[in-house]
Structure 1
């Protein structure tokens, strides 16, 4: 990765310039049997479309606060990088009443209505399917995002020293987030091409780092398995072998 990268969006741009075809996020939902693998190019395309939705249709601006009420999921990872691209502060599991926008998944729609700003719902169904009928008071992400542009340019440069992420009561700037992700990558022993298998949730820094930021900072990739603890030892061994996993974070 480029030593001058100071925001997560910078890290993604460097990954796109270095090796766009390599896998970046592989997601398993063992409850439904879903497996989806996104290359750097495909992931970056989802990020650009989501950032355009944020900046354009949702009128989000740098410094706005977004309550992210989603589990560890490939679409959650997309939202994290899209917010970084715009300069929106992601508040993991944040109070919707204190947020300018809310992005919610199943189980959080009622709570999300406390947000007086824009609300976006994700079904988290396989292949990112839309709702048969979106929850009342919400836009359906799967309906809104496909028509967005494939390239994104922020209206204003993102300040790496501005708040970017809040989790576990701790707030990080973009630059602090990148610095910590690089340190975690070194701690995991990650290098370009490493494959980190993560079963951690996205409700802590440790889960967010293992499940996205550290592999991105290292030039590696993540195999995101939120139901990893339910696999047998044999199933885990097969997953590690089939996905060419080099490191694990359980």
Structure 2
């Protein structure tokens, strides 16, 4: 890790410079049969577009709070790093009424309506598909983001000491997110550049660390599984083998 990699966005920039073609996030939804694999370059492109949308169209910046009402999903990972790029605090399962922007999946739209600021809805359909009709009062992420720019530059500098993530009732700076992720990887005994398989939810730090931040901080990648409880043991073992997993997140993590 370079000295400048003190935020999740900084980690992604370094990963992009080192090897843009390698896999970074592989996502399975075992309720739909979906599998999506994003290279570092593809993931970074989604992050840039989302950050441009957040900063430009939604007028969010440092000091603003984004309530993130999304499950463990590749698009959630994109939003987390995009918020870090802009300097917006990502509040995982946060109170929409206290947020400047809310980003919601299809099952939490009524809760998200408490936000008096900007509201964005994600259909979470395969391949990032849009809603058949955007929910009233929400912008459809899949409609708004594809036309955004492929390169991102923040209007204001984002410092590693700025608040970046609120989770489990605690606010962490960008540097603290990176430091905790690295400490988790060491404590768990992850190998160098791990290929991590995680079925943990994104509703607390363990799921975020195993499912995004620790693999990103250690030059690795993640196989992120939603609804993995639907797999039997044979199928789960076969997936780990086919995906060349080198570390599996425990169900009782950290």
Task: Give the TM-score, by structure 2 length.
Answer: 0.96
**1:57 matched to which residue of 2?**
57
Q: Which runs of 5+ in 1 are unaligned?
A: none
Residues 1:99 and 2:130 aligned together: no
Aligned match of 2:131: 131
* 1:217 equivalent in alignment to 2:194: no
Q: Is the 8 A contact 1:98 1:115 kept in 2?
A: yes
Residue 32 of structure 1 aligns with which residue? 32
Give the aligned partner of residue 120 of structure 1. 120
Q: Which residue of 2 aligns with 1:179?
A: 179
Aligned residue number for residue 43 of structure 1? 43
Indicate conservation of the 8 Å contact 1:194/1:219, yes or no: yes
For 1:156, the equivalent position in structure 2 comes to 156
Whether the 8 Å contact between 1:191 and 1:219 is mirrored in structure 2 is no
Cα offset, 1:19, TM superposition: 1.1
- 2:78 is matched with which residue? 78
- How far the C-alpha of 1:192 sits from its partner, in A, is 4.3
- 2:85 and 2:154 in contact (8 A); partners too: yes
Q: How many residues align?
A: 250
In the aligned structure 2, how far is the partner of 1:33 from the partner of 1:240? 16
1:233 maps to which residue? 233
Cα shift at 1:191: 4.2
Q: TM-score, normalised by structure 1?
A: 0.98
Q: Deviations over 1:141-189 (max 9, x none)?
A: 0000000000000001102111110011011011111100111122233
Q: Deviations for 1:64-120, whole angstroms, at most 9, x for unmatched residues?
A: 000000000000000000000000000001110000000000111111111011000
Other structure's SS at 2:4 match? coil
Summarize deviations over 1:10-54 as a string: whole Å, max 9, x none.
Answer: 000010011111000000001000000000000000000000000
Q: Which residue of 2 aligns with 1:109?
A: 109
Cα deviation 1:175-210 (Å, max 9, x = unaligned): 111100111122233344320000100000000000
Distance in 2, matches of 1:193 and 1:172, equals: 24
Q: What RMSD over aligned residues (CA atoms) do the two structures have, in Å?
A: 0.9
